[in-house]
Structure 1
Amino acid sequence: MTDRASGRTFEDLVEEGASVPTEGWDFSWFEGRASEARPSWGYATAVAVRLGAAEAVLDIQTGGGEVLDFALAQAPRRPGLAVATEGWPPNVAKATAVLRPRGVAVVASPEDASLPFADGAFDLVVSRHPVEARWQEIARVLADGGVYFAQHVGPGSVHELVEYFLGPQPDERRDARHPDRERRAAEAAGLEIVDLRAERLRIEFYDIAAVVHFLRKVIWMVPGFTVDAYLPRLRALHERIAAEGSFVAHSTRHLFHARKGTGARSGQV
């Protein structure tokens, strides 16, 4: 079947979606093929403001370094020390290329490993969409009065697409990232929650290539996804998009602003 909007066949679109590189968190390829509303708080810009008051900064799971790169470019002043971690080797290479010119050291560190830094080493820790917030480690590397400022993926994010491929999911999976659950874990690690906001945002996929690329890039949505394994469902979804114009889903995001202890530091934000 041919996509009426583009005149391209299902096979052409799937082949394209399966061939686009997945390194980093640059989503510019999706322009015109998918859209996602952005949270009202403007995470990257907010990080830039906080960088101006920080002395030692850690970006956890930096991806390809794109967000930290943007924030450093916009910051009123740069911190004296900036470090980023990343666990996926292709992203480590990309982040190093992006961030080294900014004076940022990128450390290869598995997502489930302890952070390879001394206690109290940073007055600002940031992270955009960590796979899992390891609160005890975050609290450990923060100095007294230091701040954790991050944007997390919320519960049931893009569940419409996940359940299209996997069927109804258990409540445990949909609630695993609930902000109230994460608040309790952060507080148990000794962090004080200064601000916690949550938003539900509309996503639209305009062709099947965007769906394929998204599922290859965000691998935890449909674990083990391959085109061959889900070819019949992909074809049916392609036909649905052609008939309806798009596939609509919703992402969930929450903004964490937490502080360790009550001590004041020059880098407190």
Structure 2
Amino acid sequence: MTVPLTFEALVAEAAAASVEGWDFSWFEGRATEQRPSWGYARAMGERLARAAAALDIQTGGGEVLASAPKLPPVMVATEGWPSNLAKATTLRQPRGAVVVAASEDAPLPFADGAFDLVTSRHPVSTHWAETARVLRPGGTYFSQQVGPASVFELVEHFLGPQPEEVRNARHPDRARAAAESAGLDVVGLRAERLRVEFLDIGAVVHFLRKVIWMVPGFTVDRYRPQLRSLHERIETEGPFVAHSTRFLIEARKPRP
């Protein structure tokens, strides 16, 4: 019979685990997340196969892009985190893709109208004017994004109740308005609320270390009381349930 790990052991294990790249395999058997019905990676791959020149913004470690069966003749990706940049370069270079260092809030280092497809999965933020600028007329922006109040059951356990402007900061209606203000036509917009389960406190620690914007400044020492109370809740009641929100947006640059 396996003896369950203690709070201190679970926390120490998660605190020592690597959080580089955008690989979530560490969570296997420790957390689950329902996936959106639209299948972003498959849909992105279909669009990449038809493109002549494509850009993947905030590519992370390049894992999602690596899943595409066929890349266009010109394939470029941007990433701002040095560790992710190195991993993405290793994954992409053998297939002829170029990975460029660029922070999420900086202008895109590409010419006007350079791409007929721009993609992005879970961008920290979307620079709509720059996205529209680098698209060719008739080109498409295709992105899966984090929606409003995503996993806020967990966030508010650590930070307390959040104001409505924070809870709705990533609302898909705001994305539509921003895309249209940049001169793009929104041709598709879908949203879903999805179940997330954390089976032990180690999964919570790893998640908050990896997705650093959920609880800014998170450290085990800073939030030890909240971690311990959540551990006791999981031990007593079972998995901690939260809900992620995702939306899929497709926008097109009009032809003259």
Q: Do both share a fold (TM > 0.5)?
A: yes
Q: Identity of aligned pairs, percent?
A: 69
Please report the RMSD computed on the Cα atoms of aligned residues, expressed in angstroms.
1.2
Residues 100-119 of structure 1 mapped to structure 2, 5 A cutoff? 100-119=93-112
Pick from 85, 93, 116 the counterpart of residue 123 of structure 1: 116
Return closer, same or farther for 1:115/1:43 CA change in 2, 3 Å cut-off.
same
Measured in 1, the distance between the counterparts of 2:121 and 2:175 equals: 15
Question: What residue is the counterpart of 2:233 in the other structure?
Answer: 240
**1:216 partnered with 2:209:** yes
Measured in 1, the distance between the counterparts of 2:108 and 2:152 equals: 31
Pick from 2, 5, 8 the counterpart of residue 5 of structure 2: 8
**Residue by residue, what CA displacement relative to the aligned partner does 1:103-158 show, whole Å, maximum 9, x if unpaired?**
11110101110000000000000000000011000000000000000100000000
User: If the length of structure 1 is used for normalisation, what is the TM-score?
Assistant: 0.93
Pick from 135, 141, 155 the counterpart of residue 134 of structure 2: 141
The one-letter code matched in structure 1 to 2:64 is V
TM superposition outliers: structure 1 runs of 4+ over 3 Å = none
CA shift, 1:219, in A, is 0.3
Question: What residue is the counterpart of 2:192 in the other structure?
Answer: 199
Residues 22-37 of structure 1 mapped to structure 2, 5 A cutoff? 22-37=19-34
Question: What residue is the counterpart of 2:91 in the other structure?
Answer: 98
Question: What residue is the counterpart of 1:189 in the other structure?
Answer: 182
Measured in 1, the distance between the counterparts of 2:49 and 2:89 equals: 22
CA shift, 1:5, in A, is 7.8
Q: Which runs of 5+ in 1 are unaligned?
A: 264-269
The DSSP-based 3-state class of the residue aligned with 1:52 is: helix
Measured in 1, the distance between the counterparts of 2:90 and 2:156 equals: 37
Measured in 2, the distance between the counterparts of 1:92 and 1:185 equals: 28
Measured in 2, the distance between the counterparts of 1:35 and 1:102 equals: 31
The DSSP-based 3-state class of the residue aligned with 2:67 is: helix
**1:49 partnered with 2:46:** yes
Measured in 1, the distance between the counterparts of 2:226 and 2:25 equals: 26
Question: What residue is the counterpart of 2:248 in the other structure?
Answer: 255
